Structure formats: structure tokens, C-alpha cells
Structure 1
Amino acid sequence: MRRLLFALPLLWLALLPGRARAQKFGYVDTEFIMSKMPAYGQAQQELNTASQNWQKEVEAQKKDLDRLHRTYQAEEVLLTETMKKKRQDEILKKEQDAKAYQNKVFGYEGLLFKKRQELTKPIQDKVFEAVEKVAKKKQLAIVFDKAGDLTMLYTNPAHDYTEFVLEELGLASEDRNQPGPKGAVKTVATPQTPADSEFGDETPAATKPAPTTKGRSTAKPGTRN
């Protein structure tokens, strides 16, 4: 779930007065939580099935268009100008309809987008409610989403409340959700990107690795007091 739960930028948090900074905060990993939810797996499977079916329809329309093009090209020399214009208009109409259907299904806020919202929103809402309950029980002023857009360069497992949310959802168990190891917390160093000269700078800009990566703690979500 790509959103922040009660989230505020870490820089803003660091600049708060001492009294405000003393308030408790924590973070959860909503992607990890949803991966433990059977309903989410079922929703993903249903979404994939729907997407594949729509894709087959789009491919069928493309094949039909290809057939019309080939037939027209084979018969073009035998057609009058009027007949050519009629066939060209038919092909153009088919192309426009196929493009419109593809946009309707896979375009912005299309059928696939709406289907995803329909299937995942109830699950996301359930996770959000569980996070809210944990926040109130643990008296947390702020809860960050480790799976969200906020870049967390340093995460101390002592502030990880993912396990509590799993417990709230009835998903925590010894064989599935092991507590994180205790000890010193490590930060993940940003890997160095290879120099352009090493590859002759032939890699397209869009495919080059980003200069920075999101640092994540290697510790699994664990139970904290």
C-alpha cells in the first residue's frame, strides 16, 4: 500500500521542539502485512485473471485489424476508388475502436485500475484500521509506512510495530512471523554506481540505475514493547 499512515517528513520531525520530539512514533511495513493476508493473495490472483482476459481481447482486436490490413493490401489493385475509400474507412474505424477499448481497460482510471481499487481497497482499509488501533494502544503520535514513498534511510527495529498490527489482524504466529533479532542496528550503505566509462556510457538514461536506493533495515519485523 503506497501511502503513508499518519506520516510526516522525517526532516520536519527532526526540527520539532524537544517536547514534541519526545512523543512516541513508530513505523510499519504495509507490504509485509498484506503479504500475510490470504484475502490479498486472492485479490491479486483475481486481478491477474481479469487483466489476462482483457489482454486477450485486446490481442484479438489487433489480430482482426492485421487480417483486415492484409486483405485490403491483397485486393487493393482490384478495387475502385470508392471501394478503396469505404474499406479504408472501415479499417480506420476498427483501429479507433481498438485503441479506445485498450484505453478504457488499461488507461488512466480504466477498468483495470477500478478493479484493483475494488479488490484491494477493503484490504487496505482493514490494515489502516488495525494500524490506527495499535497507534492508540501504544500511544503513538506518528506512524510511518516503511513501504510507502517516504525514504527511510535508517530504521531502528525498536520502533517497528508491524508485528502488533499483524496481531491485531489475527495473523501473528510463531511459525509465520518471527520476532526480529536484538542487538545493534545497522544502516544500509548506499551502493556506488559504476562509472560511465566502465560501460562506454552506452546505457540509455532511462535504464541506468538510480544514484541512490532506499536504505532498509535487514531486521525482520519483530515484537517490541
Structure 2
Amino acid sequence: MKKILSILAALSVLVCTAQSAVAQKFGYVDSEYIMGKMPAYAQAQTELNNLSQTWQKEIETQKKDLDKLYRTYQAEEVLLTEPMKKKRQDEILKKEQDTKAYQNKIFGYEGQLFKKRQELTKPVQDQVFEAIEKVAKKKQLAIVFDKSGDLTMLYTNPVHDYTEFVLEELGLASEDRNQTAQKGSVKTVTTPKTPAGDAIPADEEKAGAAPTSRPSARPASRKN
């Protein structure tokens, strides 16, 4: 009898747990779409683009100076003594090292561009996360997924899309809410190009590049 009661108690716990799991609500949002609607984010991306272009021009100028230094050395090499050749070679080598070090400082892993991006976009991201948290509490959501994140969502039912509610929380809801988010220059910081044979390591280049734009899927309808 005790054994039967124990089994029944265990089954009761399992049923309650299952019911609780079923009762939990979940939803998803498209954070890229949301940030693409925020003027502060667009302004941050514009500033990052301008900084990236300015820094790239500085690096190109340094490389031109290096090339000029090397060509001058080649043209005068036959007239130089060995000590003079050594001095010129050391100058060229130092110039090359300085240029690469500056390039790495700006566009390398955790370089100036990386830090500036964090400085400019973090306040916007914090705003979005706070709005998502408020919506989750209001709608009693146990889990909120990010459709634009690394999580692969093979199918999404629009009934679970809370993106528009987050936009409303941020005061950004509009009549064109069902239109596809505008991406492109707002989302992109041009990756600096380097001459062949002088490319920075892959991990450094990734750190200096902007997040790749992902296709945006808008909800078919918004819940009441």
C-alpha cells in the first residue's frame, strides 16, 4: 500500500511539473530590427563609420611614406656605403613596424575601433534590454529569445513575436511597423582594407569589423 501511495505521489509531482512547464509562456524579439529603428543607434554607427575612415586614411598615409622611403633607398643604394645602407634599412624597418603597430592598435583585437563601438552602442543595447525585460514582465514571459542572435530559429510563429511591444515600450512604434527594417549603412562599419601581403590576422580583423547584417524577418501581425 505504501509503495502504491509513493508511486501515486511521484506521478502527481510529475503531472504538476508538466502542467507548470506548459503554462510557462515564451516569446522572441528581433533586436537588430529594434536597434535599426533607434536614432541613437544610427548616430553611433555613423560616428563609427567616420572614425573608421579617418583612421584608415592615416594608415594609408603612413604606408605611402613607407613606400616612398623604400623607393628612395632603392634608387640611392648603389651610392651608399655599408654603414649608410644599414642606417637606411633600420629606418625602413622601424617605419614598417610602427605602421603595423598603429594599424593593430586601431583595428586589431580590442583596438580603438572595438572600444569605441562598445562605448557608443552599449547605452543603446542597455535601453533595448531594459525594454525587453519590462515587456517580459508585463506579458508574463518565462523566456525571451533573440531572433537576430546566434540561436537558430528554423520556424517562428508570429503569435510569439513581441518585437512590436518592445518598440512601443521604447516609444518607437509607428504605422509602418510591418515594414522590413532598414539596414545597410546604419548597421555597417566598413572593414579597413590592407594591401595584399600586409593583412592583419583573421582574429584581429574580426574584432575590428562591424557585426554582419542578418536578414530581418518582420512579424506578420501584432498581438493585442
TM-score, shorter chain, exceeding 0.5: yes
Match of 1:196 in 2: none
Match of 1:87 in 2: 88
Q: CA RMSD in A?
A: 2.0
Q: TM-score, normalised by structure 2?
A: 0.74
Name structure 2 gaps, 5 residues minimum: 1-16, 181-214
Structure 2 counterpart SS, 1:148: coil
Q: How far is the alpha carbon of 1:173 from its aligned partner?
A: 1.5
Residue 88 of structure 1 aligns with an amino acid whose one-letter code is: Q
Contact 1:58/1:102 (CA < 8 Å) preserved in 2? yes
Q: CA, structure 1 residues 82+148, in 2 after alignment: closer, same or farther (shift >3 Å)?
A: same
After superposition, the C-alpha distances for 1:63-119 in whole angstroms (9 at most, x for unaligned) are 000000100000000000000000000100000000000000000000000010011
Contact 2:33/2:216 (CA < 8 Å) preserved in 1? no
Q: How far is the alpha carbon of 1:19 from its aligned partner?
A: 2.7
Give 1:137-216 correspondences, 5 Å limit: 137-174=138-175, 176-178=176-178
Aligned equivalents of 1:42 and 1:86: distance in 2?
48
Contact 1:157/1:221 (CA < 8 Å) preserved in 2? yes
- Judging by fraction of residues, say which structure has more helix: 2
Q: How far is the alpha carbon of 1:220 from its aligned partner?
A: 3.0
Aligned equivalents of 1:71 and 1:79: distance in 2?
12
Structure 2 counterpart SS, 1:223: coil
Aligned equivalents of 2:164 and 2:154: distance in 1?
21
Q: TM-score, normalised by structure 1?
A: 0.73
More contact order relative to length (CA 8 Å, sep ≥ 6): 2
After superposition, the C-alpha distances for 1:186-206 in whole angstroms (9 at most, x for unaligned) are xxxxxxxxxxxxxxxxxxxxx
Q: CA, structure 1 residues 179+71, in 2 after alignment: closer, same or farther (shift >3 Å)?
A: closer
Q: CA, structure 1 residues 107+221, in 2 after alignment: closer, same or farther (shift >3 Å)?
A: farther
Q: CA, structure 1 residues 154+40, in 2 after alignment: closer, same or farther (shift >3 Å)?
A: same
Aligned equivalents of 1:103 and 1:218: distance in 2?
36
